Amino acid sequence: MNLPSVPSSHDNIAALSSGQGLAALAVIRISGPKLKDILGRVLSDGGCLRKPRRLVLDQVLDESGEVIDQVLAVFFPGPASYTGEDMAELHCHGGRAVYGRILQRLFALGCREALPGEFTRRAFENGKMDLTRAEAVMHIINARTPQQVKAAARVLTGKFQQRLENLRRQLEEALAVAEALIDFPDEEIDFPLEAELESLAKELGEIRKSLFLAGGGAVEIAILGRQNVGKSSLLNRLAGRELALVTPVAGTTRDAVRFRTELAGREVEFLDTAGLSPKPADELDRLSQEKTRKDARQAALALWVFEATEFTPPPDWCSRPILVANKIDLLEKKQKEGLEKEVLSRGGVMLSALSGEGVENLLEKIAQRLEEEFGPQEGIPVSWQQAEAIDNLVAAIRRAKDEFHHNQLLITAEELRRAMGELGRLLGQEVTPDVLDMIFSRFCIGK
């Protein structure tokens, strides 16, 4: 009854070819009939399209035209390519933050994540590879895939798995009711479907909040403050090594430097920013400050760093930052005590990025805030496909609810079926419910 999710040969596919984890370079492969169009929209210049089979410097842009990364792009017009159709490679900077965002952009432009072995399958189907080689590749991929599936499944353990299972039962019931209302219009089916759909939507909203993408996005924590207050030193201290450039010259950091780590069971990404000043010195300065504001707004959490000797309040647009008084190594004992009252009473911390004193407190504070904002630690990292599945699931339930309100029963049922499919993807199983079974075991209907 449910349509199987079979990969179509007409889709545009994209995937990371190499460079998982921390590596200097990552390569993203894209293949498909609409490739040229997609490249034209994702790249700033598109020079690779004019000069095929050459690595051409370019930039990948996000939906607002901001640069995600500088890349080397190469375009292979089909049929002279690996897959036999139009293909491209984007060589970008390694690190999940970067390639993750590039992939996300590609998905937004109409690609989907390639399944294991899919590039090879296309290569074979287009006659670029003989059967023996293709089978050999398939064999390896399939041997690995159960492992990958297991790995993905391991991620969904415990309470989260339980929640999803409960969701599935609720969804099954809603679907059974919708189907019964269609196929048995005469029967007395007493079930508050609209309320049930409300409850499903709410539960999904909760689940979605506690998820975050692994391999593409973590909880972002922006380190903000005026110039030269020690933001970069703090970042370096957190990273345990030199990531950001620190010089006594104010305003050294122009662009954001990021550091990803795990904190209290969550993936977090610290974001160093260009120092804010009430009066930007020049155009470049103004631009980098704009960028800082943007980054800060996108971040889940902000640290407002200031020199312990001189308290400066955070700007208005910065909502609920954690106050961080830095450079306490420069303070006299009496000043310290005075400051403690100010800062600690506001839930802030006092530390010295230079000496390391107090940094532990900061990490604790951050963990606490994350717990408050994002719910219990069982927040689970999920893959692209799972994240996409959740988004689709949320959208489907929402539409089911709206359409039911308008008495469009068929659409309600269709959206609920779609939702079940997405839930199946999420749980890593093909969920093909026996709808009739569900209906007849619940309702006394039929004549």
Residues near other proteins, by CB under 8 A: 1-9, 115-118, 121, 124-125, 131, 134-135, 138-139, 141-143, 145-146, 179, 181-188, 406-411, 413-414, 417, 430, 432, 435-436, 439-440, 444-447
The minimum distance between CB 131 and other proteins, in angstroms, equals 4
User: What's the CA gap between 43 and 52, in Å, rounded?
Assistant: 15
Q: Which is nearer to other proteins, 107 or 374 (CB)?
A: 107
Q: Which is nearer to other proteins, 26 or 393 (CB)?
A: 393
- Tokens 């690779």 correspond to what residue? 48
Three-class DSSP labels, 370-436: HHHHHCCCCCEEECHHHHHHHHHHHHHHHHHHHHHHCCCHHHHHHHHHHHHHHHHHHHCCCCCCCHH
The minimum distance between CB 132 and other proteins, in angstroms, equals 9
Which residue, 313, 276, 306, 312, is CA-closest to 291?
276
The minimum distance between CB 200 and other proteins, in angstroms, equals 19
Q: Which is nearer to other proteins, 300 or 409 (CB)?
A: 409
Amino acid 124 reads F
DSSP state of 314: P
Which residue, 160, 294, 285, is CA-closest to 222?
294
The minimum distance between CB 192 and other proteins, in angstroms, equals 17
Q: Which is nearer to other proteins, 134 or 201 (CB)?
A: 134
The minimum distance between CB 177 and other proteins, in angstroms, equals 12
Q: Which is nearer to other proteins, 7 or 52 (CB)?
A: 7
The minimum distance between CB 38 and other proteins, in angstroms, equals 19
Q: Which is nearer to other proteins, 145 or 210 (CB)?
A: 145
Which residue, 369, 279, 253, is CA-closest to 319?
369
DSSP readout, 37-85? HHHHHHBSS-HHHHSTTS-EEEEEE-TTS-EEEEEEEEEE-TTSSSSSS
